[in-house]
């Protein structure tokens, strides 16, 4: 490997982990420590009170054969990281011999910490955009080796499409793309627009209109030139951001006045959640969001042993014993209980349901989620429990 990244084999064999896990395991092996443990993964802190959970699929690949049982919150679940009493929610419950899986902690956490941060940001952007489509355009800001992970997390979190070719293959989606400024620079606007309109076989015809001219006049020109035009895209840089909403209102007005109501407006270029609501109200119809989703702040997940040889045991500051997570189907309330306790009645009168699912049994993966199903789950949660007030 010439690039400065780890190989799949190095990740799977824990050669990419923090060295102290490897050292600790050698101590345990010397002592022939063989007891069964349960380890749980919880969130210590995060800037947002809820998390759109993703990254589990890679954890399953990592841990297959190393753990006996694994229970987890399904990907795409949107959930507060503490229950209504403030008890930390276990996202994963791992059963097995510590010496068989302990050294994988670094990669295990890395898979879910970064991915869940991105999917949470994607959900927040989706809340801001409402029914209007959001596209993940951020892979160019990140290491290319993790581009598919970024797009997958963005998609599950709520993004309607992604720009990466490989990401599209993994997700079973046609990747979304418009045109770079370079084509207008090389061919001139009109030739470039005609080439895009003729060359778009799938998806909407979208042209970039802010390479040379004022956005209003370029939009009118493009709408007149291309009868099959679906979107004009404004990739307005931050230098004009103070006027961005006004530019959108002006473009919309002038297009409508000339009978081009069907031409919609896509915006991109350094958009943040706060911009999206304002630009949506001004008349933007679709959003290409790059850096702000792709760099979604990492969630601080951590893993702790909570039970050893069937006895509750953990470090100070953590709650011992195996737990499960119940959620009310009516109001969304979350309750964490010891596995030995069952509660099926919520305060609201609704029914509480155990939401942890078994993914590894006797060392083998018994279930994987399709990204489209995880995304449908996330959208369902957004619709039911999260609105613009929860951003």
The residues that touch Zn ion, with contacts defined as CB under 5 A, are: 328, 330-331, 333, 346, 348, 350
Give the nearer residue to Zn ion in terms of CB position, either 342 or 348.
348
**Nearer residue to Zn ion within complex by CB, 341 or 384:** 384
CB of 346 to Zn ion, least distance (A): 3
Q: Which is nearer to Zn ion, 9 or 331 (CB)?
A: 331
The angle at the Cα of 194, spanning 189 to 200, to the nearest 5 degrees, equals: 120
Q: Please, which residue, 250 or 354, has the CB nearer to Zn ion? A: 354
Which residue, 26 or 387, has its beta carbon nearer to Zn ion? 387
Q: Which is nearer to Zn ion, 80 or 321 (CB)?
A: 80
Q: Which is nearer to Zn ion, 162 or 326 (CB)?
A: 326
d(CA 208, CA 186): 14
* Continuous H helices in 189-305: 189-199, 215-225, 244-257, 273-282, 291-294
As measured in angstroms, the least distance from the Cβ of 328 to Zn ion is 3
Query: Which residue bears the tokens 């869940």?
Result: 116
CB 153, CB 136: distance < 8 Å: no
Q: Give the length of the chain.
A: 391
Helix axes 371-385, 105-129, angle to 10 degrees: 50
What is the DSSP secondary structure assignment for residue 212, as one 8-state letter?
S
Give the shortest CB-384-to-Zn ion separation in angstroms.
Answer: 12
Minimum distance from CB of 333 to Zn ion (Å)? 5
> Counting runs of H as helices and runs of E as strands, what totals does the chain give?
14, 18
Whether residue 115 contacts residue 75, with contact meaning beta carbons closer than 8 Å, is answered with no
Cβ at position 319, least distance to Zn ion in Å: 23
First vs last Cα of the chain: how many Å apart?
Answer: 42
Alpha-carbon dihedral angle through residues 371, 377, 383, 384, given to the nearest 10 degrees:
-170
DSSP code of residue 387: -
Query: What's the closest the beta carbon of residue 71 comes to Zn ion, in angstroms?
Result: 23
Residue 350 CB, nearest approach to Zn ion (Å): 4
Nearer to Zn ion, 31 or 85 (CB): 85
d(CA 68, CA 147): 31
How is residue 6 written in tokens?
């780890």
Dihedral of CA atoms 139, 141, 144, 150 in degrees, nearest 10, equals -40
CB of 345 to Zn ion, least distance (A): 9
């Amino acid at each position: 490997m010439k690039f400065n990244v780890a190989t799949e084999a190095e990740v799977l064999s824990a050669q990419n982990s923090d060295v102290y896990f490897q050292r600790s395991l050698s101590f345990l092996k010397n002592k022939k420590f063989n007891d069964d443990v349960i380890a749980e993964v919880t969130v210590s802190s995060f800037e947002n009170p809820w998390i759109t959970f993703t990254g589990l699929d890679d954890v399953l690949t990592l841990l297959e054969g190393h753990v006996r049982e694994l229970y987890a919150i399904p990907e795409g679940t949107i959930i507060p990281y503490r229950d209504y009493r403030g008890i930390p929610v276990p996202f994963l419950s791992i059963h097995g011999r510590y010496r068989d899986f302990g050294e994988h902690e670094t990669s295990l956490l890395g898979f879910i910490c970064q991915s869940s941060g991105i999917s949470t940001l994607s959900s927040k952007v989706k809340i801001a955009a409402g029914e209007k489509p959001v596209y993940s355009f951020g892979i160019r800001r990140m290491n290319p080796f993790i581009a598919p992970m970024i797009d997958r997390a963005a998609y599950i979190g709520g993004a309607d499409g992604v720009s990466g070719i490989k990401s599209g293959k993994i997700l079973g989606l046609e990747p979304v793309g418009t045109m770079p400024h370079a084509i207008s620079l090389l061919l001139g606007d009109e030739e470039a627009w005609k080439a895009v309109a003729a060359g778009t076989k799938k998806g909407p015809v979208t042209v970039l209109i802010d390479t040379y001219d004022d956005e209003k006049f370029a939009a009118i020109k493009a709408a007149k030139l291309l009868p099959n035009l679906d979107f004009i895209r404004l990739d307005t840089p931050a230098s004009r951001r103070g006027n961005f909403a006004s530019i959108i209102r002006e473009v919309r007005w002038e297009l409508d006045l000339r009978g081009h109501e069907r031409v919609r407006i896509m915006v991109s270029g350094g958009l943040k959640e706060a911009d999206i609501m304002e630009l949506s109200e001004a008349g933007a119809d679709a959003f290409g969001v790059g850096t702000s989703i792709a760099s979604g702040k990492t969630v601080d997940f951590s893993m702790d042993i909570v039970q050893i040889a069937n006895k509750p045991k953990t470090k100070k500051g953590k709650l011992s014993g195996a737990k499960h997570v119940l959620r009310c189907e009516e109001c969304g309330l979350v309750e964490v209980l010891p596995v030995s306790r069952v509660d099926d009645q919520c305060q609201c009168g609704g029914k509480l349901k155990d939401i942890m699912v078994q993914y590894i049994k006797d060392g083998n993966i018994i279930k994987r989620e399709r990204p489209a199903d995880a995304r449908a789950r996330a959208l369902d949660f957004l619709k039911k429990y999260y609105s613009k007030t929860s951003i």
